[in-house]
Amino acid sequence: MATPVAQEQRTLGLTEPGRPPLRAPRTSLKLRNALIGWTFILPNFLGFAVLTLTPVITLFYISLTSWNIFGAAQWVGLDNFARLIGDKSFHTALGNTFYYAVVHIPVTIVVSLGLALLLNQKLRGAAFFRTVAFFPYITSIVAVAVVWNMLFSPEYGPINQFLSLLVEGDLPGWTVSKDWAMPAVIIVGTWKDMGYYMLLFLAGLQTVPGELHEAARIDGANTWQRFWNVTLPCLRPTMFFVTVMVTIQSFKVFDLILVMTDGGPGQATLVLSQYIYQKGFEQFEFGYASAVAVVLFLICILVTVVQFLYNKRKEA
């Protein structure tokens, strides 16, 4: 029986009856497939190279220079990084960044997973409540900051008015207090982000086989045991992805703090991304700001690599 290629060649008169069909050289076939592959890859790769790779390489170069945009960049080597060692503001920003990340990451994951488990049930209006939970994620950060600053007002905010009914004595100063400003930002950050990660967990919960829960229920497992031994292991890929995304987002938090507290009071909520902004776009020390950005970049890379290695070890 003739192949489609042979039939086509006979139709075009390229072969004679009884003679084997012509075959394209293997080299040209590989070249054609490679060109087709590069045709699909090239637009995305060009965008990555122009918008991501080139700026990152430039960042490393500028971090080794002294440049204030008004003159030529002067090569200073590692002087900018040596300056970081004695910079107290940098130490404060670094500590606040880890403070925000260490608290925000687990709280956001727990709240998002809890919402996903709740809204994964067959409840009336579940779709509506999913939309409500996701809505803060797409809300303007300026609107979010303004509204929450009003809610956190020490004197007139409804939060402190409600707390005054439950406790006596001094109430939290929230965004005007050095001790409570960062917890206030973390609360708002968790509230804003939980809807997005809830949807990711909901997608992951759809992949959990119902037969496993049914078998565990028959074996006498209670709700907690089914969650711990069935649901969580099946959610491992989703949990890993969410953890990586939340971690990166936590270390590079900027807009929420800029609008809500502007790093204050004092430097209570100053984080590395805002310190980069201050040094680069307010004080025009682009070389030094780039050095801080390199440190933040390396921290994100290191934490992500550790997460990948830990996840790989768990899967082995």
Sorted by where each begins, the domain ranges of the chain are 88-315
**For domain 88-315, is the CATH number 1.10.3720.10?**
yes
- pLDDT, residue 116, reads 94
From CA 119, how far away is CA 111, in angstroms rounded?
Answer: 12
CA dihedral 303, 308, 314, 316 (to 10 degrees): -150
- pLDDT, residue 314, reads 78
From CA 303, how far away is CA 311, in angstroms rounded?
Answer: 12
Query: 250, 101 in Cβ contact below 8 A?
Result: yes
From CA 130, how far away is CA 304, in angstroms rounded?
Answer: 29
* Ranges of the chain whose pLDDT falls below 70: 1-25, 316
From CA 195, how far away is CA 115, in angstroms rounded?
Answer: 8
CB neighbourhood size of 311 (10 A): 17
Instruction: Tell me the average pLDDT of the chain.
Output: 88
- pLDDT, residue 106, reads 96
From CA 16, how far away is CA 239, in angstroms rounded?
Answer: 62
From CA 35, how far away is CA 33, in angstroms rounded?
Answer: 5
DSSP character for 176?
Answer: G
CB neighbourhood size of 136 (10 A): 16
pLDDT tens column, 146-185:
999 999 998 889 999 999 888 888 889 999 999 999 999 9
Query: 225, 216 in Cβ contact below 8 A?
Result: yes
From CA 162, how far away is CA 67, in angstroms rounded?
Answer: 51
The predicted model scores a pTM of 0.84
- pLDDT, residue 9, reads 47
